A = this chain, B = another copy of it.
């Protein structure tokens, strides 16, 4: 069987094609996504599929990106040491100060910002990380020995108006994908998602959550109660789980997208959407680890890191929108302040 990095690459390539095709089919009169393949001088490549059409105000999408990258290089000792806190398999290497080790990171990352305030924004990413032995003279073409590996992933929804049945549908689809691989995965990963997407200075969550996990491998996992929790444990099993989550993305989101895309829009609803998009910007720039890490990495294109930001956002000082008791906006805020169980 092919190495995991190749199987993951093949999977995210096909998932990207499938998601972009589905979005283009849903919005046939809009310009197509802009497909751009790139190579990384230091090793690796990627394909960005982005939608940005400021001169096309009738498109259902406002801004979107569905990007994949498969990069490799040398991981410095400091990074190995940091990763060793979550991965016992790296502890020896970190202690002995072996120097750099080769790594591979492959993943898909997407953000969809539709124009209509009744259609939620959605974000997802699934990734595989691998550290291998420094080349120890294997014959050409034979795979390097793996020192450590893990999968990570997120899918989360950010509505501007609350349609409870939409949120329930979204969470149910993710729960189904999880449950087939272990009944304790969804509750643990749902909580991790709520905890992560919290805008501390506002006391609000970014949206209504979804699932989030990191460092999922054959070692004990920090989000699961104990090491005997039934869960995917071998690389093949975890890969199957990650594919189930990735495959659940379109079913979890697309029917909401279709159901709400024709909802009435007025200035008030649009204004509220843009105020909430300001909060999205606040989360991404102040707290999001991926964004912070991306912006601090030399040589990274800021435009790709900041692809996740909405096309427009508003900041009104002490805005009165959302303060009226019983309003649609106040109902949304209530849920953002107090995450619920949706299934």
Chain A residues close to B by CB (< 8 Å):
50, 52, 54, 63, 65, 200-202, 271, 274, 278, 281-282, 285-286, 292, 295-296, 300, 302-303, 305-307, 309-319
Write the chain B residue with the least CB distance to A303: B318
Write the chain B residue with the least CB distance to A64: B317
By a CB distance below 8 angstroms, the chain B residues around A286 are 285-286, 292, 295
Separation of A295 and B285 alpha carbons in the complex (Å): 12
A280 to chain B, nearest CB (A): 11
* Cβ-defined contact, B305 with A309, below 8 A: no
Most chain B CB atoms below 10 A, which of A201, A271, A296, A306: A201
Separation of A292 and B318 alpha carbons in the complex (Å): 20
A110 to chain B, nearest CB (A): 13
By a CB distance below 8 angstroms, the chain B residues around A295 are 200-201, 286
Separation of A310 and B278 alpha carbons in the complex (Å): 10
27 contacts between A and B (CB under 8 A): A50-B318, A52-B317, A52-B319, A54-B314, A63-B315, A63-B316, A63-B317, A200-B295, A201-B295, A201-B296, A202-B302, A274-B312, A278-B309, A281-B281, A281-B285, A282-B285, A285-B285, A285-B286, A286-B286, A286-B292, A286-B295, A303-B318, A307-B317, A311-B315, A312-B313, A312-B315, A313-B313
In the complex, the count of this chain's copies comes to 2
User: What 8 pairs across the A-B complex have the smallest Cβ distances?
Assistant: A285-B285, A309-B315, A201-B302, A201-B295, A52-B317, A50-B317, A312-B314, A285-B286
A264 to chain B, nearest CB (A): 21
Partner of A306, one of B307, B311, B312, B315: B315
Write the chain B residue with the least CB distance to A295: B201
Separation of A214 and B302 alpha carbons in the complex (Å): 30
By a CB distance below 8 angstroms, the chain B residues around A292 are 286
